[in-house]
Amino acid sequence: MKIACIGTGFVGVVTSAIFASHGHEVVGLDIDENKVKSLSNGEVPFFEPGLSELLKKTLADGHLTFTNSYKKAISNAEIIFIMVGTPSAADGQADLKYVFAAAESMAPYLKKEAVVVVKSTVPPGTSKEVAKIIKQKTKTSFTTASVPEFLREGSAVEDTLHPSRVVIGTTDKKTGEKLTQLHRPLSDKIIIMKPESAQMAKYASNTYLATRITFINQIADLCEKNGADVEEVVAGIGEDPRIGTHYWYPGFGYGGSCFPKDVSELAAYSRAVGESNNLMNKVHELNLARTPYLMEKMGQKIGGWKDKQVAVLGLSFKPNTDDTREAPSTAIIKYLQQQKANIFGFDPRAKWSGETTNFSQKKSLEEAVAHADVIIAVIEWPEIISFDFSKTKLNKPQFFIDGRNQFDPATIKNWNYIYLSIGRG
């Protein structure tokens, strides 16, 4: 099929490359000329396992091209994906200006019976707005649909090749069939529903997962009050098939470009439609308070942060990405700077781009922990959890904060660290 992908951010590049790798003729469009240039040269502007290879391969075999011309991208396209950013507006709701601008710009070039698919995370009702905007600019017949994205950073290629499900929001039979045909090689779990349901499903999915994390963080805090071990509690609840053992890692709170934004957007949407007393408000608030709360509690245990040498290991918001947006490390470093600690950061991929007072990023984990009074293992990068901390133990009392409960407490204690964790009694 002939496909146009508008927006070459994270989702746009991954989606374009995957469809191209399945033999479709894909044109990626971005208004940023520099992005078009570097993508056309096979350069991915962020780290995502497997993506660079896939991009180079699909460019080389001619299935994928990039342009900044709407005319070029849209004129032949049977299916057009809108995958532009939807940042939060001042009132907390999704700002749809880029989605609407894309709709307006593509309209004059639409081919007869083209399908315009909104893949960006948008509130219910957006597909109708998109259709209205396009209709003002063209007489050509077209349909709209909503196909939300569920891929995760760090495993985006794998998630797109083997999605747990494909949700197609459309009320038009032919559109549903066309999109099913496109997605069938990727998944046999294709669910067709109303566009509004598809859009709600996206927000509901992310908000549920964020709520689950907030819930286990609170259970971990309670475990600390009574000597219970949250990891044992997870084992005790997880065998119930309604609950499951996965996605139950307590820590410094959820981060990234999606959960914080989507939870607060759904909260703002709820308020806007008259449901002010909503769970999402509280989840967002608890997550924002999570790092300062933990850091204060840990500070009491270590005798205060002032003048301590602190190694912060893991600056990205999760392993296998260099993305630091809303990463727990950003709140941790900010807190430590206010407390006048000396901070040494390390990450296998991410670069610290925040305030550098009392902060320096080290090239290796060894250097970051070289003088540490306190080591904070923030996230579970393999390079961090497989590191042998016995060889860097100094001859002074040192605290080891296991921010993800990834280490064996007995081993760390045997190496003479004072072990602190999240809810392990």
Give catalytic residue positions. Answer: 258
Closest to ligand UGA by CB, 7 or 178: 7
The least CB distance from residue 201 to ligand UGA, in Å, is: 11
What string of H, E and C letters represents the secondary structure of the chain? CEEEEECCCHHHHHHHHHHHHCCCEEEEECCCHHHHHHHHCCCCCCCCCCHHHHHHHHHHCCCEEEECCHHHHHCCCCEEEECCCCCECCCCCECCHHHHHHHHHHHHHCCCCEEEEECCCCCCCHHHHHHHHHHCCCCCCEEEEECCCCCCCCCHHHHHHCCCCEEEECCCHHHHHHHHHHHCCCCCCEEEECHHHHHHHHHHHHHHHHHHHHHHHHHHHHHHHHCCEHHHHHHHHHCCCCCCCCCCCCCCCCCCCCHHHHHHHHHHHHHHCCCCCCHHHHHHHHHHHHHHHHHHHHHHHHCCCCCCEEEEECCCCCCCCCCCCCCHHHHHHHHHHHCCCEEEEECCCCCCCCCCCCEEECCCHHHHHCCCCEEEECCCCHHHHCCCHHHHCCCCCEEEEECCCCCCHHHHHHCCEEEECCCEC
Distance CA 163, CA 183 (A): 10
Instruction: Give the full edge-to-edge strand order of the sheet including 190-193.
Output: 64-67, 25-29, 2-6, 79-82, 114-118, 142-146, 166-169, 190-193
Regarding 30 and contact with ligand UGA (CB under 6 A), the answer is no
The least CB distance from residue 54 to ligand UGA, in Å, is: 18
Part in contact with ligand UGA (CB under 6 A); list of ranges 226-234, 255-263, 385-393, 395-403: 255-263
Span 275-294, contacts to ligand UGA by CB under 6 A: none
Distance CA 200, CA 144 (A): 16
The least CB distance from residue 169 to ligand UGA, in Å, is: 16
The residue with tokens 């999240």 is 422
Closest to ligand UGA by CB, 70 or 254: 254
The least CB distance from residue 34 to ligand UGA, in Å, is: 24
Task: Build a one-symbol-per-residue string for 301-320: x at contacts with ligand UGA by CB under 6 A, - elsewhere.
Answer: ----------------xx--
Task: Build a one-symbol-per-residue string for 397-416: x at contacts with ligand UGA by CB under 6 A, - elsewhere.
Answer: --------------------
- Record the tokens describing residue 143, joined without a space: 């349909």
Part in contact with ligand UGA (CB under 6 A); list of ranges 53-61, 241-249, 339-347, 357-365: 241-249
Regarding 258 and contact with ligand UGA (CB under 6 A), the answer is yes
The least CB distance from residue 285 to ligand UGA, in Å, is: 16
Closest to ligand UGA by CB, 149 or 347: 149
The least CB distance from residue 213 to ligand UGA, in Å, is: 4
Span 204-223, contacts to ligand UGA by CB under 6 A: 206, 209, 213
Part in contact with ligand UGA (CB under 6 A); list of ranges 143-151, 297-305, 381-389, 412-420: 143-151
Regarding 256 and contact with ligand UGA (CB under 6 A), the answer is yes
Distance CA 334, CA 354 (A): 9
Closest to ligand UGA by CB, 59 or 123: 123
Span 346-375, contacts to ligand UGA by CB under 6 A: none
Q: Cβ-count burial of 54 within 10 angstroms (0-12 exposed, 13-18 middle, 19+ buried)? A: buried
Closest to ligand UGA by CB, 10 or 19: 10
Closest to ligand UGA by CB, 59 or 376: 376
The least CB distance from residue 214 to ligand UGA, in Å, is: 9
Span 149-178, contacts to ligand UGA by CB under 6 A: 149-153
Part in contact with ligand UGA (CB under 6 A); list of ranges 87-95, 101-109, 148-156, 410-418: 148-156
Work out the number of other CB atoms within 10 angstroms of the CB of residue 94: 23
The residue with tokens 């002074």 is 396
Closest to ligand UGA by CB, 256 or 299: 256
The least CB distance from residue 425 to ligand UGA, in Å, is: 19
Regarding 195 and contact with ligand UGA (CB under 6 A), the answer is no
Regarding 254 and contact with ligand UGA (CB under 6 A), the answer is yes
Size of the site for ligand UGA (CB under 6 A): 19
Regarding 248 and contact with ligand UGA (CB under 6 A), the answer is yes
Closest to ligand UGA by CB, 7 or 256: 256
The least CB distance from residue 396 to ligand UGA, in Å, is: 31
Which residues here bind ligand UGA, judged by CB under 6 A? 149-153, 206, 209, 213, 247-249, 251, 254-256, 258-259, 317-318
